[in-house]
Structure 1
């Protein structure tokens, strides 16, 4: 089984890409695919995951992918410590970035740039369909085009196919045997041989592990209560850790608001409309601090490396510890005093 793990943010189209990949890979006779997302009630910009499983037999395992043949990051701010723990042996990481990474398992693709050139705004998902059609022999360009025609609105066909072709061109020559998981050769039809290259359990081990689980065309389907899937482990693989949404930056943001103190008039509309209270009244000689914990002392504030430095003339500032980068403050500012800038550090080298 070939497994693809997608990391994205709400609104980037990770699940759409997962579905299109599954559709493209299942067009051939005898091919099967399964695509599903993992997200909660978070708003646009929140981290989410999607999964695509490809096989030449019916897929009964609907649990989240823990280790994948391909891990795709639609936003490079999501690529952090421990990224290699999600990767199988000989696996490949694809990341939407212009950065250069020291680890040759990571392939950069400027999906934002490619999609922005075609669509006028960065929507990176379909660029990675083109990349995967180069790297994985089970997915062809014609299959991707057909999936786009079948599952996307007609008005989006031409431009998204152009994005796919541009991504393929950008990635030309990147695929090699050292970067392609084993068992992906075109025409592979034996289920055991096909699965063995992707670290899947042989049939005998699956039989022993699943016990009396239900069947579907000879393929056992694990269930939470039959011992094959421990509920605690299932929850761990499908949910983010507790506290994820209250940590600094909370993993939400790929753009941050920056206030031009000279243009700020002190109207406080950004302060009033911020849905998370991340915009606060800045202290000044004539205006007491609205938040005593923020203005307690310069030393305390210096310890919080993410928090904005407040010029004397500023009426407001942003607490980046809890700002989610939604851009509401930019929308309501009538004086152009706030701009969204990229969170990512393009000058950093290597995987973080």
Structure 2
């Protein structure tokens, strides 16, 4: 039996991809497939899982896949230490990432810029069908022709041409990515089981910045004025910002269970946000439409030496973008979390350097 475990966030199409994979595989004569999801009651953006099983006999086991031949991460932030426990011997991890394969230091991890491929074709990052094309290059049981037939059979007609184009682009990208992953893996890395924690390169030159390649790309993604706006004014003394009961919840833990003690303050955002709102005070008119429409009440009024302002409680903002949509003055930019983290790190380094000079 071939088993595929999909990790994604609500709205990324992980279950759709799992179903399409099963449909494509079952088109081959004498092949049976089963696909099903696993998710809790949370909103769009919350971590979830989906599963695909393919076999030459009818499949009666509907239990969750604990160890898979292929593990697919539609969101890189879900790839956390311990990922190798979900992988069968000889298995492969596919991850939606712009990082070089060498930064993972493990030949089993194959990064593919699925957001980039899908954005180029669809105009927005919907990475699910990219990995259908990638799986075609990894497993002989799945053909590109059958994947395209499944797309035509199970997706709306208006989506056929673009998703078939995505699959074609993904086949080419995955072929190159697999070669790069195998070439960059240290000797024995893929068989020892002593893999590096996900997201952490195994070795860095002394004094070199952490993940310099990805960091540089993120820093360039933000203009200097936008980067400076990431630093918000603090709340007024009369504004109560709720305190957390616990530290941030690991998204991988949240994806497996939703049984936690009562109170939404137990979890810090649970890793849901991919984009964060950044407010331009020079453009903001303090109309407060963003505060009024925020579904989670995370926008609050504050002030500093520069005067009145609004700020965002990033502990609980889920990055839905409603505030940016309702702002008629274009005072709110939605910035990727990766770019924001890189820019904030750069600003902190600059401030530290200036403090040392003084």
Fold match by TM threshold 0.5 = yes
In structure 1, C-alpha distance between the alignment counterparts of 2:177 and 2:325, rounded to whole Å:
41
Q: Name the counterpart of 1:31.
A: 31
2:83 aligned residue: 83
- Aligned residue among 235, 238, 242 for 2:260: 242
Cα-to-partner distance string for 1:126-184 (whole Å, 9 max, x where unaligned): 010000010111101111111111111122111111100100011224447x97xxxxx
Q: In the aligned structure 2, how far is the partner of 1:104 from the partner of 1:347?
A: 27
- Rg: which structure is higher? 1
Residue aligning to 2:153: 150
TM superposition shift of 1:80: 2.2
Distance 1:346 1:85, change over 3 A: farther
In the TM superposition, residue 283 of structure 1 has moved relative to its aligned partner by 3.9
1:92–1:22 distance in 2 versus 1, CA, 3 Å: same
Aligned pairs for 1:11-50 within 5 A: 11-50=11-50
* Structure 2: runs of 5+ lacking an equivalent: 183-252, 343-358
Contact between 1:99 and 1:346, CA under 8 Å: does it hold in 2? no
- Number of residue pairs matched by the alignment: 266
Are 1:330 and 2:348 matched, yes or no?
A: no
Q: Which has the higher contact order (CA 8 A, sep 6+)?
A: 1
Task: Show the counterpart of 1:282.
Answer: 302
Instruction: Show CA shifts across 1:237-284 (max 9, x none).
Output: 853563697422212111111111222221211112111121122244
**CA distance in structure 2 between the partners assigned to 1:119 and 1:237 by the alignment:** 28
Q: 1:16 to 1:38 in 2, by over 3 A?
A: same
Aligned CA distance change for structure 1 residues 270 and 173 (closer, same or farther; 3 Å): closer
Separation of aligned partners in 2, 1:140 and 1:155: 23
| Aligned equivalents of 1:93, 1:347: Cα separation in 2 | 25
Structure 2 counterpart of 1:302: none
Give the structure-1-normalised TM-score: 0.70
Distance 1:261 1:346, change over 3 A: closer
Partner residue of 2:309 out of 285, 305, 315? 315
Instruction: Quote the Cα distance in structure 2 between the aligned partners of 1:155 and 1:314.
Output: 47
Whichever structure has more helix as a proportion of its residues is 2
**Could you tell me the TM-score, scaled by structure 2's length?**
0.69
Q: 1:249 to 1:284 in 2, by over 3 A?
A: same
Matching of residues 33-112 of structure 1 within 5 Å: 33-100=33-100, 101-112=104-115
User: Aligned residue for 1:128?
Assistant: 131
Query: Contact between 2:2 and 2:54, CA under 8 Å: does it hold in 1?
Result: yes
Unaligned runs of 5+ in 1: 180-234, 286-311
Shift in CA distance, 328/82, structure 1 to aligned 2, threshold 3 Å: same
- Are the equivalent residues in 2 in contact too, given 1:130–1:165 (CA < 8 A)? yes
> What does the per-residue CA deviation read over 1:184-228, in whole Å, with 9 as the maximum and x for residues that have no partner?
xxxxxxxxxxxxxxxxxxxxxxxxxxxxxxxxxxxxxxxxxxxxx
In the alignment, is the contact (CA less than 8 A) between 2:49 and 2:255 conserved in 1? Answer: no
Q: Is the 8 A contact 2:38 2:49 kept in 1?
A: yes
1:241/1:135 CA distance change after superposition, 3 Å: farther
Distance in structure 2 (CA, Å) of the matches to 1:347 and 1:261: 21
Secondary structure at 1:344's aligned position in 2? helix
Residue 85 of structure 1: how far off its partner (Å)? 2.3
Structure 1 residues 85 and 313, CA, compared in 2 at 3 Å: closer, same or farther?
A: farther
- Report the aligned-residue RMSD: 2.5
- Give the distance between the partners of 2:285 and 2:300, measured in 1 at CA: 15
TM-aligned CA deviation for residue 40 of structure 1: 2.9
In 2 relative to 1, CA 162–271 (structure 1 residues): closer, same or farther, beyond 3 Å?
same
